[in-house]
Chain A
């Protein structure tokens, strides 16, 4: 990735926080509790984009529990990478769900109407590919309480795949055709063509590896939901249904793609999110309290350590670096 671009993006997104804090820190010594001194006008520290009960916001990674810069944008789910910000906009009385693709200054680039209720959203590391998952009502085959729809947009070519259900699929090496296929939780590889996702069919939840150009997916593992590919492309963080059944909740786990070995993380609470790699050793995810308030936590991408609270009252984390 272009480091100059990274620096510029981080500086721009933190500008609101930075500008306020320079003044604030000088006039109020007590402001040091808020981490003001750790953010300066020359800082290129990375930031974390989150949703604060639906408001697109940015916090400093050096003080994620301190001040947060709020934007006017409302999203049910958001993600960002390399200057592309994606926002699944809530429905209101006048409009259904839609996705907005914005640039780093939150200028609208493209808007696509969608059907369903926002669930997952990913921008590829380059900022080129955007994939979303929505809950949808009314699939006649929906017998387990929900069905989903996952789509992909190539922002470079404009190619739009409304639903991955149109892609050819193979399971156990054989062509697989079933009416009850549902996809969710797309994550992209560095080449912006290969991707991973969950395909649910016949009571199984497969990890599929996809080829966007060839419009096909193949199942490569079972009981893998909401995959998130590490930057080096070697590991997938995901949620694994406990004892293979979602009714029991999900264990945040890491899959080694070379050995296909699964390592449960030290997070033992049920995680229902598509995790985010903060760095090569750490994953972030949202956990919801009983009253619907979310918090962003981190845990090591191994079986070691313990979960740490990263950003209270936030969800949908994305690194803007």
Chain B
């Protein structure tokens, strides 16, 4: 394809000579393929480290440096999203700063990195991610106030988060503009083909009639957002889940009648709930169990399971004992052992992992997370913090685990007043507060899609897919 071998050097409108290693460089002379689409991304994080300032972070400065004396390394992170066709080409553009000394005989070596979870304001020389991936390309001499391009086809394969590390073997350092500069921020230009590849995701290709599981937590109160999220459910078929705090303030029969019944109540027949602490503000959550009846599992117990297509779905109770050896933990292990489904989905109220500022990560639920991990569960959804958050697949300790990890969500945006975020926790991939909505899962034979569906008039979105393990 023509665009794969065409690389541009743009210097205030004119081409300049550029020495490049391991990449093909040419002046862009013809228009891209008319059927191809090009999307430009700016970094979600960029910074550099300096071995003469080992504890200093440069994450919010306007520059990025590469040098070998003092040693400076630059880190770039891009999140590619919204692509619906296969990537046919990807180019990194980077601009040399318009200050004296920014130019260099060596523009650095660009390499892929495994670590995509580093934070722009936390990286220092002392605490820096490894530059451990394949070499994407190198730049020779770079001039002040000039754009340069690197072919990064080998790294960018589709939607996802990517890190690039830049080092230099020269004591003549180069200084580039960081994302903070705006117009001269680094760019990732991704070109996609016209048609999706038929073999793009064989394990999670949607089939008509795949079951849908849709819901949220922290739902019904005297405000109006519960009305708006209930209206979303009117247009989404499937099973409705709740992740607790179904009704405020106290989960009484009167609260259910006043706030839940007029909103989410019209979907009660297809709802499989989980209880929260506000439901338990009524002793024994009797209001909750009376209202939902058999849909909430054995009355007073609060944990139960059911199957949807190829999925085993478990609703748990974070408001009673969840310790190792507890009745609930023993039931969960037996329930998972008895399941023959290849995929497992679990939900409850208090999140094991959250960056919310009102409720800390709930370590007490850890034994249930461990049991789910031991039985290769795939998805966990909780609530409690009134916001949305999505984590990468993680092991029970919160470490990234792309092989067996469980993808955790917080879906506390069902209607109650929004909460702030605190310190953003490792492996948090997407967050939003202030947008009420529901989280919709389409459960495929061996995978799933998730989609944050915002209430009318709101624009936040988050979607993606995963495979079962």
Q: Is B180 an interface residue (CB 8 A)?
A: yes
**Residue count of chain B within 8 Å CB distance of chain A:** 60
The distance in angstroms between the C-alpha atoms of A93 and B120, with both chains bound, is: 25
Are A30 and B63 also in contact (CB < 8 A) when A55-B122, A135-B359 are?
yes
Q: Name A29's closest neighbour in chain B (CB-CB).
A: B101
The answer for the CA separation of A191 and B48 in the assembled complex, in Å, is: 45
Q: Report whether B431 and A311 are in contact in the complex, using a CB–CB cutoff of 8 Å.
A: no
Contact with B along A72-103 (1 / 0, CB 8 A): 00101000000000000011110001000000
A16 within 8 A of B: yes
Residue contact A143 to B281, C-beta cutoff 8 Å: yes
Contact between A65 and B63, CB atoms less than 8 A apart? no
Contact A53 B121 (CB under 8 A): yes
The interface-forming segment of A17-25, A122-130, A151-159 is: A17-25
Which B residues are CB-close (under 8 A) to A30? Answer: 63, 65, 97, 99-102, 175
Segment with Cβ contacts to B, from A162-170, A178-186, A211-219, A287-295: A287-295
Q: Known interface pairs A23-B52, A70-B122. Does A52 touch B57 (Cβ–Cβ under 8 Å)?
A: yes
Take A117-B360, A145-B248 as given contacts and tell me if A24 and B99 are in contact as well, using a CB distance cutoff of 8 Å.
no
Q: Does B19 contact A (CB under 8 A)?
A: no
In the docked arrangement, what's the CA distance between A183 and B430, Å? 33
Given contacts A28-B65, A32-B99, A65-B60, contact A290 B359 (CB under 8 A): no
Residue of B nearest to A312 (CB): B60
Binds A, one of B26-34, B188-196, B236-244, B416-424: B416-424
* Residue B250 CB within 8 A of the other chain: yes
Total number of A residues with any Cβ neighbor in B under 8 Å: 59
Closest A residue by C-beta to B69: A27
Q: How far is the CA of A313 from the CA of B424 in the complex (A)?
A: 11
Q: Would A66 and B61 count as touching, CB distance under 8 A? A: yes
B249 CB within 8 Å of chain A: yes
CB of A35 to closest CB in B, whole Å: 9
> Contact check: which of A20, A70, A117, A247 meets B50 at CB < 8 Å?
A20
Give every chain A residue within 8 A of B422 (Cβ-Cβ).
54, 76, 117-118, 292
**Is the CB–CB distance between B67 and A28 below 8 Å?**
yes
The contact string, 1 if C-beta is below 8 Å from chain A, for chain B 29-51, is 00000000000000000000010
Q: How many angstroms from the CA of A290 to the CA of B432 in the assembled complex? A: 5
Q: What string of 1s and 0s marks CB contacts (under 8 Å) between A244-260 and chain B?
A: 00110000000000000
Known: A93-B363, A290-B435. A16 touches B55 (CB 8 A): yes
A188 CA to B124 CA in the complex, in Å?
A: 35
B254-282 contact mask (Cβ, 8 Å, vs A): 1 or 0? 00000000000000000000000100010
The reply on B366 being an interface residue by CB < 8 A is yes
CB pair B420 A144 closer than 8 Å: no
Q: Which residues of B contact A19 (CB under 8 A)?
A: 53
- Indicate if A71 sits at the interface (CB-CB under 8 A): yes
| B361 located at the interface, meaning its Cβ lies under 8 Å from any Cβ of chain A in the complex | yes
Is A235 close to B, CB under 8 A? no
How far does the Cβ of B83 sit from chain A's closest Cβ, in whole Å? 21
Q: 30 A-B contacts, Cβ less than 8 Å apart? A: A17-B53, A24-B50, A24-B52, A30-B100, A30-B102, A31-B63, A33-B63, A34-B58, A34-B62, A54-B422, A66-B61, A67-B53, A67-B58, A68-B56, A68-B57, A69-B55, A70-B56, A70-B127, A93-B397, A97-B360, A117-B357, A117-B422, A145-B386, A146-B358, A290-B432, A291-B431, A292-B433, A312-B60, A312-B180, A313-B59
List chain B positions with a Cβ less than 8 A from chain A: 50, 52-63, 65, 67, 70, 97, 99-102, 119-122, 124, 127, 173, 175, 180, 223, 248-250, 277, 281, 355, 357-361, 363, 366, 386, 397, 416-417, 420-424, 430-435, 460
Residues of A within 8 A of B (CB): 16-17, 19-21, 23-24, 27-34, 51-55, 57, 65-71, 74, 76, 90-93, 97, 117-119, 135, 137-138, 140, 142-146, 246-247, 272, 288, 290-293, 311-314
